């Protein structure tokens, strides 16, 4: 017999259903998942050997959990994934606003209906997807929002005194009985509200306007907090922090390879793209390196963090920049170009908390600076270092490229050039092809134009070539060209 077909309390007992609280439920299902070799927190890339084991230990210990970390580290995602460790369905008394367990009713409504109907008490089933409650803590959150308040209209309609618990309109937490309850940005919650939470965690009772009500709520609390919040906006009161069983530190991706996987997993998958967009692996590396540079930048407040969402939205903008050009050129296939990285700047500027020096320079400057630093960092992983000072007779791997630009009038790349025109222009720089053949001989043919343009931009950043905007694109020149024009 399918349990969810049971509609009365008597039939539920006859079926041998065993009731358990939510922490026991999570623990039992986690043990089953571990024994079966299943992934307990799928998609939490980079956390497999750090955060996930700590989460599993906390659940096995039946702890309430505080996830402490900078923004964009997947704290809320972790909390939502915990829903998968709940039973698929649980029974509750039909009509109960607190999801009352028929074996352990806590509300006056549930106790009264069981006393009246006994085994004929109607039963409904709650799916685990409906057992997730989330509240963003803000300074204006009140006791009434979270716990409840006396409802004078209910008292009037039912002709009850304010001493009767039935006049209470319950808030989010009692209504989340037998559920996961997540409070994001816990330090933003006023201290007196945090004390009320402490009372629920410790004593299992609620106090509303002096009305003390014993209400042994069955909840799994998950709190999230940013370390910056402790100093900038508020703090977690000590008694509450003491009652949170496990505080788990989250972190950003440890390396570019993990960061790329996260970006690929989380970026928007648009099924209606008008063309096929190929993204060279180097372009993906640069995107992630930008975030790594940002977390170390002197212009950015590193205590605030740089969210992984920056790389995700930047990747989406990068694809859209290439797609837009293909639409204009009526092309069905295109490849991301290095110059397309300029299209990701709006995705960067809104996701940085700048320090004073950064504010002075401006968000656009800082964004371009990060792209420049990422370019220089990765260039040295692909090609030999350029010495700032060298002897006159000393040769370098870049001499042939620089001589080509010295002899050429200028080299121009149009922003909206067709694929054919773009490739033809770059492939005409034969010393550039030779340089790639020597140091990156295994690069795929489709990625060669991107790598060639990447070299040009890197040589500009390393003061070997000059670059300037033209009416419809960019012009690359040797450094002497700019110097002579300046003198003239």
Query: So what's the pLDDT on residue 226?
Result: 86
Longest Cα–Cα distance in the chain: 102
Contact 375, 458 (CB under 8 A): yes
DSSP annotation of 146: H
What is the CATH classification number for the domain harbouring 452? 1.10.10.10
Number of domains in the chain: 3
Distance CA 397, CA 439 (A): 10
Query: So what's the pLDDT on residue 160?
Result: 67
Query: So what's the pLDDT on residue 488?
Result: 45
Query: So what's the pLDDT on residue 487?
Result: 44
Query: So what's the pLDDT on residue 271?
Result: 66
Q: Are residues 225 and 301 in the same domain?
A: no
Q: Are residues 276 and 244 in the same domain?
A: no
Indicate the range of 62-66, 232-236, 368-372 predicted with least confidence.
Answer: 232-236
Cα three-residue angle 436-437-440, rounded to 5 degrees: 60
Query: So what's the pLDDT on residue 35?
Result: 96
Q: Three-state SS for 124? A: strand
Does some domain include residue 271? yes
pLDDT band at 303; cut points 50, 70, 90: confident
Q: Are residues 82 and 223 in the same domain?
A: yes
For 109, counting Cβ atoms within 10 Å of its Cβ (0-12 exposed, 13-18 middle, 19+ buried), the class is: middle
Q: Are residues 287 and 203 in the same domain?
A: no
Distance CA 399, CA 488 (A): 26
Q: Domain range spanning residue 320? A: 256-382
Taking Cα atoms as reference points, which of 213, 8, 220 lies closest to residue 102?
8
Higher-pLDDT residue of 274, 277: 277
Does some domain include residue 393? no
pLDDT tens digits along 198-210: 777 776 666 666 6
Contact 39, 47 (CB under 8 A): no
- Tell me the pLDDT of the chain averaged across its residues: 88
Q: Are residues 377 and 447 in the same domain?
A: no
Q: What six digits make up the tokens of 274?
A: 């008008």
Q: Are residues 240 and 262 in the same domain?
A: no
Query: In the predicted model, what is the mean pLDDT of residues 225-240?
Result: 71
Does some domain include residue 35? yes
pLDDT tens digits along 101-118: 999 998 888 998 999 999
> 436: alpha, beta or left, given left = phi > 0 and alpha = psi -120 to 50?
alpha
Does some domain include residue 387? no
Residue 229 has pLDDT above 60, yes or no: no
Residue 445 has pLDDT above 50, yes or no: yes
Query: So what's the pLDDT on residue 232?
Result: 47
- All residues at 6 or more sequence positions from 360 whose CB lies less than 8 Å from its CB, including other chains: none
Does some domain include residue 391? no
Residue 161 has pLDDT above 70, yes or no: no
Percent of the chain with pLDDT over 90: 61
Q: Are residues 431 and 354 in the same domain?
A: no
Distance CA 379, CA 385 (A): 8
Q: What six digits make up the tokens of 57?
A: 């230990």
Residue 212 has pLDDT above 50, yes or no: yes
Residue 446 has pLDDT above 90, yes or no: yes
Query: So what's the pLDDT on residue 372?
Result: 95
């Amino acid at each position: 017999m399918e349990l969810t077909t049971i509609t009365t309390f008597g039939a539920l007992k006859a079926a041998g259903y065993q009731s358990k609280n939510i922490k026991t439920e999570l623990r039992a299902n986690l043990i089953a998942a571990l024994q079966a070799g299943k992934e307990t927190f799928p998609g939490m890339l980079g956390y497999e050997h750090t955060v996930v084991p700590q989460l599993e230990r906390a659940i096995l210990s039946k702890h309430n959990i505080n996830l402490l970390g900078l923004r964009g580290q997947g704290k809320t995602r972790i909390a939502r994934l915990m829903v998968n460790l709940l039973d698929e369905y649980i029974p509750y008394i039909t009509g109960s606003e607190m999801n009352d367990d028929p074996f352990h009713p806590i509300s006056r409504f549930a106790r009264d209906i069981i006393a009246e109907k006994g085994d004929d008490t109607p039963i409904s089933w709650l799916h685990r997807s409906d057992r997730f409650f989330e509240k963003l803590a803000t300074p204006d959150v009140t006791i009434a929002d979270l716990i409840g308040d006396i409802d004078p209209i209910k008292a009037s309609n039912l002709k009850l005194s304010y001493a009767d618990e039935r006049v209470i309109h319950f808030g989010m937490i009692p209504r989340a009985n037998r559920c996961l309850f997540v409070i994001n940005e816990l330090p933003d919650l006023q201290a007196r509200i945090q004390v009320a939470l402490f009372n629920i965690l410790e004593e299992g009772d609620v106090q509303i306007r002096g009305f003390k009500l014993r209400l042994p709520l069955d909840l799994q609390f998950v709190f999230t907090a940013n370390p910056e919040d402790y100093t900038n906006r508020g703090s977690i009161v000590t008694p509450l922090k003491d009652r949170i069983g496990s505080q788990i530190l989250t972190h950003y991706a440890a390396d570019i390879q993990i960061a790329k996987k996260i970006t690929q997993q989380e970026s928007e998958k648009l099924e209606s793209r008008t063309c096929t967009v190929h993204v060279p692996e180097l372009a993906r590396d640069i995107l992630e390196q930008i975030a790594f540079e940002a977390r170390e930048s002197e212009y950015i407040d590193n205590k605030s963090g740089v969210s992984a969402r920056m790389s995700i939205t930047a990747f989406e903008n990068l694809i859209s920049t290439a797609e837009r050009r293909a639409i204009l050129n009526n092309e069905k296939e295109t490849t991301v170009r290095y110059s397309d990285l300029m299209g990701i700047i709006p995705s960067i500027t809104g996701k940085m908390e700048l320090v004073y020096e950064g504010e002075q320079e401006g968000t656009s400057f800082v964004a371009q600076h990060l792209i420049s630093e990422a370019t220089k960092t990765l260039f040295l992983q692909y090609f030999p270092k350029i010495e700032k000072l060298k002897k006159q007779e000393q040769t370098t791997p870049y001499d042939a490229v620089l001589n080509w630009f010295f002899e050429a009038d200028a080299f121009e790349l149009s922003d909206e050039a067709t694929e054919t025109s773009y490739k033809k222009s770059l492939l005409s720089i034969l010393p550039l092809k030779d340089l790639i053949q020597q140091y990156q001989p295994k690069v795929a043919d489709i990625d060669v134009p991107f790598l060639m343009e990447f070299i040009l931009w890197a040589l500009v950043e390393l003061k070997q070539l000059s670059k300037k905007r033209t009416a419809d694109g960019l012009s690359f020149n040797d450094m002497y060209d700019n110097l002579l024009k300046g003198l003239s």
